[in-house]
Amino acid sequence: MSSKRKITVAYGDGIGPEIMKATLNILEAAGAQLEYDVIEIGEQVYLKGISSGMEPSAFDSLRETKVFLKSPITTPQGGGFKSLNVTTRTSFGLYANVRPCKSFSPFIQTHFPETDMVIIRENEEDLYAGIEHRQTQEVVQSLKLISRPGSEKIIRYAFEYAKKNGRKKVTCMTKDNIMKLADGLFHKTFDEIAKEYPDIKADHKIIDIGTALIADRPEMFDVVVTLNLYGDIISDVAAQVTGSVGLGGSANVGEEVAMFEAIHGSAPDIAGMDLANPSGLLNGAIMMLVHIGQPEVAEKVANAWMKTLEDGIHTGDIYQEELSTKKVGTQEFAAAVIERMGQKPEKMTPASFNTEDTEPMNIFVTDKPNQDKKLIGVDVFVDWNESGRDPQVLGETLRKANAAGLQLTLITNRGIKVFPGGMKESFCTDHWRCRFQNAEQSEISPAQILDLLKQIGDLGLEFIQVANLYSFDGVRGYSLAQGE
Ligand code: NAD
C-alpha cells in the first residue's frame, strides 16, 4: 500500500494554476508524501450553470480525502452564483478559519516588524447564513444567528490552538455593548471557557477599538478569536499591516475535512504572466502538511522559503530596490526555494514543527441543561405607511386588538421606541415592531398569538413577521428597545 497521503487539489482560476504548479513542485522537492485527486472548481463550473461552483464529484473527492488544497477562483460577475468558499465551509462544517499574520521584516516592508498574531474566525454562523428578506417597500432584514455550540467550538479551538502553539494570550472581539444577546452569548461563552485555561491570558475588546488597535499596534495581539463577519474584516486588516496580503495562507478546519488556501484572490490582472507570488498558497500548504502529519516536511519548506526571502529573491509584489537582489517570476521563485531546501534562515527565527503539532485538538461541546422556556409575549412586525406614519395613529389602532389580555406595550421603528411616548424627531420607515404582552408579563399561549394576528388582520393591518418573546429560567430572552 502506498504511504502517500491522498489530497484533493484544485488549480482554480486566474493565477491559480501558476501558483499551484509552483507550490506542488516545492512540496515534491521537500519530499512530501502526497498524491493528488485533481478537481475542477470555479469559473468554468459556474458557467456550466452549477451555482455552487463545484461539481457533485468534487464533493465526493473531499469526502474521501478530507484534505483540500485550493487555489483562488474567480467568481463570475452578476447574481445567482453562490460563494464556493461559503458552500465548502458550511457543507463540510469547516467551523474554524485560521489565519496567521506574521511580519517578515525587513524582507517584507511593514511598520510593525514584531507582529506575530493568529486570527481565528468563526466560519459557519453570524450573518453568513445569508437569511435575508425584503419585508416592506423600504426595509430589508438580514438575520444574525449565533449558537452556543458554535461559539463553544470556535472558542475552545482558539484556546487549544494557543496551548498547542505555545501562545500566551487569547483576545475575544465582539460588539456586545450593542448586540447584548448575540455577541453577548459569544463573549459569555469565551469567559466561561477561558477559566479552563488558567495559563493563557484572556481578554476582550469591543470590535471597533479592537480593529483600530490591530491597525495601529498589531504587536500587542497574540491569538484573536471572533465572530464570522468581524473575523473577515480584521483578518484583512491584520494581513495588510504585516505587509503580507500576497503571502498569507489560511486553513479552514472542521471535525473531518480541512481546506487550505492563500488569502488573496485569483488576480486576473496578472494571470498567465508568471508574475504572481506563490507564497500565500505555499503558506497554506505548510499548514496542510502539519495537519496531515508531515511536520518535518512543513518545517523544511517553511525554512527554505524564509531563506529565499532573506536572500532577496523576490517576486514583483514584494520587490524592494534597496533590499532585494533579484526580481523573479513565479516559477523561478519556486526554483529558488527548491534550491534552498534543507537550509534555514539566518536572520529570521527558523520554523519548527514537530509531531505534537499534528495531534488532534480536544474540541468538544458541553451539554447545557435544559432551561425552563416560557412564552411571555410576541413582537409582531407590521408594514404600515399611512397617516403620515404617525406612531400615535398606529398605536391607537393596535390598542383595539386584545387577544385574551394580550395588550400592545410598545412600538419601535428601526429599534427606537416611538409609542407610547417617543420623540417627534425620530425618523420612521414603513417597518414597525409592535410588542404585545399581558399586564403581568406572565406566560401566554400560542393560541393567543394566532387570535391576535387575526385581529390585527381584521384591523386592516399587514403583519410581515412574528417573533415570540421567551424567558429562560425567568431570564428575559429578548432585547429591550432603545428608549424602553
Ligand atoms: P485579488 O486578491 O485577486 O487581487 C488584488 C490585487 O492583489 C491585484 O492587483 C492582484 O494582482 C494582487 N495580487 C493578488 N494575489 C497576488 C499574488 N499572489 N502575487 C502578486 N500579486 C497578487 O483580489 P480581487 O482582484 O478583488 O479579486 C479577483 C477575483 O478573485 C474575484 O473574482 C474574487 O471574487 C476572487 N477571490 C477569490 C478568493 C478565493 O478564491 N479564496 C478570495 C478573494 C477573491
The string of DSSP letters for 317-329 reads: GG--TTT-SEEE-
Q: What is the pTM of this model?
A: 0.92
Q: Is the CB of 264 under 6 A from ligand 1?
A: yes
CA of 476 from ligand 1 middle (Å) equals: 46
Secondary-structure percent of the chain, ordered helix, strand, coil, rounded to 5: 35, 25, 40
What whole-number distance in Å separates Cα of residue 247 and Cα of residue 264? Answer: 8
CA of 172 from ligand 1 middle (Å) equals: 28
Helix residue spans in 399-462 (DSSP H): 446-458
| Ligand 1, atom 9, residue with closest C-alpha | 267
CA of 16 from ligand 1 middle (Å) equals: 10
What whole-number distance in Å separates Cα of residue 41 and Cα of residue 144? Answer: 29
| Ligand 1, atom 36, residue with closest C-alpha | 265
Quote the percentage of the chain above a pLDDT of 90. 80
- Return the C-alpha torsion angle 120, 121, 124, 129, nearest 10: 180
Digit-coded pLDDT (tens) for 347-406: 999 999 887 777 888 899 998 778 999 999 999 999 999 999 999 999 999 999 888 889
Domains of the chain, CATH where assigned = 1-110+242-355 (3.40.718.10), 118-229 (3.30.420), 373-476 (3.30.70.1570)
Residues 6+ apart with CB under 8 A from 117: 100, 101, 102, 214, 218, 221, 222, 223, 224, 238
Digit-coded pLDDT (tens) for 355-372: 777 788 889 999 877 899
pLDDT, residue 4, reads 93
Residues 6+ apart with CB under 8 A from 106: 113, 323
E strands in 254-299: 258-262
Residue 484 clears pLDDT 80, i.e. is over it: no
DSSP 63-123: HHH-EEEE---PPPSSTTPPPHHHHHHHHTT--EEEEEEE--TTTS--S-TT-EEEEEEE-
3-class DSSP state for residue 13? coil
Find the mean pLDDT for residues 272-285: 97
Q: Which atom of ligand 1 is nearest to the CA of 15?
A: 18
Quote the percentage of the chain above a pLDDT of 70. 99
Which residue is it, cell 474554524? 96
Q: Which atom of ligand 1 is nearest to the CA of 269?
A: 11
3-class DSSP state for residue 34? strand
Residue 1 clears pLDDT 70, i.e. is over it: no
CA of 367 from ligand 1 middle (Å) equals: 42
Digit-coded pLDDT (tens) for 206-227: 999 999 999 999 999 999 999 9
What whole-number distance in Å separates Cα of residue 206 and Cα of residue 135? Answer: 31
Find the mean pLDDT for residues 435-446: 92
Find the mean pLDDT for residues 461-470: 97
Residues 6+ apart with CB under 8 A from 415: 433, 481, 482
Residues 6+ apart with CB under 8 A from 381: 135, 431, 432, 433, 434, 463, 464, 465, 466, 467
Pocket mutation for ligand 1, best pick of 19, 52, 250, 264 (most atoms within 8 Å of C-beta): 264
Residue 78 clears pLDDT 80, i.e. is over it: no
Find the mean pLDDT for residues 397-418: 92
Residue 274 clears pLDDT 50, i.e. is over it: yes
Q: Is the CB of 267 under 6 A from ligand 1?
A: yes
What whole-number distance in Å separates Cα of residue 112 and Cα of residue 215? Answer: 10
The mean of the pLDDT values for the chain is 93
pLDDT, residue 245, reads 76
pLDDT, residue 351, reads 94
pLDDT, residue 291, reads 94
* Lookup: cell for 357: 503539532
pLDDT, residue 88, reads 87
CA of 262 from ligand 1 middle (Å) equals: 10
Find the mean pLDDT for residues 259-279: 95
- Residues 124, 287, 237, CA angle at the centre, nearest 5°? 60
pLDDT, residue 243, reads 80
- Residues 122, 105, 17, CA angle at the centre, nearest 5°? 60
Residue 468 clears pLDDT 50, i.e. is over it: yes
3-class DSSP state for residue 256? coil
Contact, 435 vs 469, CB < 8 A?
yes
pLDDT, residue 81, reads 79
Digit-coded pLDDT (tens) for 134-192: 999 999 999 999 999 999 999 999 999 999 999 999 999 999 999 999 999 999 999 99
pLDDT, residue 2, reads 55
Digit-coded pLDDT (tens) for 124-136: 999 988 899 999 9
